[in-house]
Amino acid sequence: MLASVLKTVADTRMYEKLGLSLARHFSTEVHLIGFPAETPAVEGIYFHNIYHKPFRRISMRRLLAPAKVLIKLFQLRPRLVIITTHELLVIGAIYKLLTRTKLYYDVQENYYYNIRFTPAFPKPMRLTLAVYVRAKERLLSRLINYFFLAEKGYVDELIFAKPFIVLENKLPASFATGENRNNRLHLLFTGTLAETTGVWQAIELAEALYRVNNQVRLTVIGHAPSERFLKKLREASLNLPFVHLTAELFPLPHPEILRAIRQAGTGIIIYPPNPATHSSIPTKLYEYMGMGLPVLIRHNPLSHDLVMRCRGGIILTEKPDYQALVTEIQQLQPPVAHPTLYWESELPKLQKIFSS
């Protein structure tokens, strides 16, 4: 069983990468439990919604979700449990101690940094909650058989996470669509919509480019966990004729995001400086370049190196010449389809663990 609380049962990492890989390459029955979503019919994979309807990030139903996952564990009796969030550490430990099953922890975020340095929680709560989560991770780490780390940077940041393998959020090769031939001035921003993910910076860049060339368009598509931020974003987009916004309070189906990538001409990735993202290689960077979409990026050296290795786009300066930048964007070529962009390059790591 792979289990989450806020990720959907059809989440790109939990289902499309880990779940499908386990079902196809290791001939095992896979159960996924998490946030409700539309699900495909796939042999050997079973989906279980924690609740039948979505729930908010700060809610009583979220607090009760781990107990519901624990009940499902005892109903299904899996031989291996992979938890994908710190919220399930305690119930994972309880289940392991009572059944002697194997317990893996798929660490998708540095939760201490995310809680402390982003506005996901009210400011007075952040430090206390961040310290509590990190203490819980350290205390229960001895009960984890293996840690899966979604970022190379977590090796140094999470020194308690041992033994571990790094499983980066690369794109399954089946999603690759070859050369992208769309209008390069059709820009795209996808993913979580928040102050810390760079959506305002993407809009500001698109606006500056639009002033130079009125053919510039920006599609923004994703989910905004904060209702207040979502309202602010919707109000702002009403006055920006070049912006097409598709934003919801809850996660959008991943196929909808992939469709937007196929229809766009250039992706935008601009993260404002923040400890929560300073060592990350965004999932959407693998998605954009793996699907033939060049990028405009300003993030960190790891991400920039990947873009340069794949000849995948333009590294943005703080104050670009927008006239020259428009010309550069129009001349962009699809990134090189380097094997390291794809999830299949991570499979040998899984095979080594599951064959031992």
> Does residue 235 sit in the same domain as residue 328?
yes
Question: Looking at the DSSP assignment, which residues form a beta bridge with residue 33?
Answer: 3, 48
* pLDDT range class, residue 25, cuts 50, 70, 90: confident
| CATH number for the domain harbouring residue 335 | 3.40.50.2000
Residue numbers of the domain that contains 306: 174-340
> Does residue 158 sit in the same domain as residue 222?
no
In a domain, 350, yes or no: no
Q: Domain boundary residue among 167, 186, 205?
A: 167
The residues, ordered by sequence, that sit 6+ positions from 263 with a Cβ below 8 Å of its Cβ are 182, 186, 219
Closest CA to 345 of 226, 170, 196, 153: 170
In a domain, 265, yes or no: yes
Q: What is the per-residue pLDDT across 94-110, written as a single tens digit (0 to 9) for each?
A: 999 999 999 999 999 99
In a domain, 348, yes or no: no
pLDDT at 179: 57
> What is the average per-residue pLDDT within 102-119?
94
> Does residue 189 sit in the same domain as residue 56?
no
> What is the average per-residue pLDDT within 165-194?
88
> What is the average per-residue pLDDT within 64-72?
94
Residue 314 burial (CB < 10 Å; 0-12/13-18/19+)?
middle
pLDDT at 187: 97
> Does residue 246 sit in the same domain as residue 269?
yes
> What is the average per-residue pLDDT within 129-138?
96
| Mean pLDDT computed over every residue of the chain | 93
88 has pLDDT over 90: yes
178 has pLDDT over 80: no
The alpha carbon of residue 70 and the mean position of all alpha carbons in its chain are separated, in whole angstroms, by: 25
> Does residue 26 sit in the same domain as residue 160?
yes
pLDDT at 288: 96
pLDDT at 200: 96
Q: What is the per-residue pLDDT across 224-281, written as a single tens digit (0 to 9) for each?
A: 988 899 999 999 999 999 999 999 988 888 999 999 999 999 999 999 999 988 889 9
> Does residue 303 sit in the same domain as residue 200?
yes
> What is the average per-residue pLDDT within 289-312?
96
> Does residue 183 sit in the same domain as residue 117?
no
Weakest mean pLDDT among 21-30, 187-196, 299-308 = 21-30
> Does residue 144 sit in the same domain as residue 193?
no
> What is the average per-residue pLDDT within 14-30?
92
**Contact (Cβ atoms closer than 8 angstroms) between residue 208 and residue 262:** no
Q: Domain boundary residue among 167, 182, 214?
A: 167
> Does residue 150 sit in the same domain as residue 185?
no
> Domain total for the chain?
2
Q: Domain boundary residue among 167, 184, 217?
A: 167
> Does residue 132 sit in the same domain as residue 191?
no
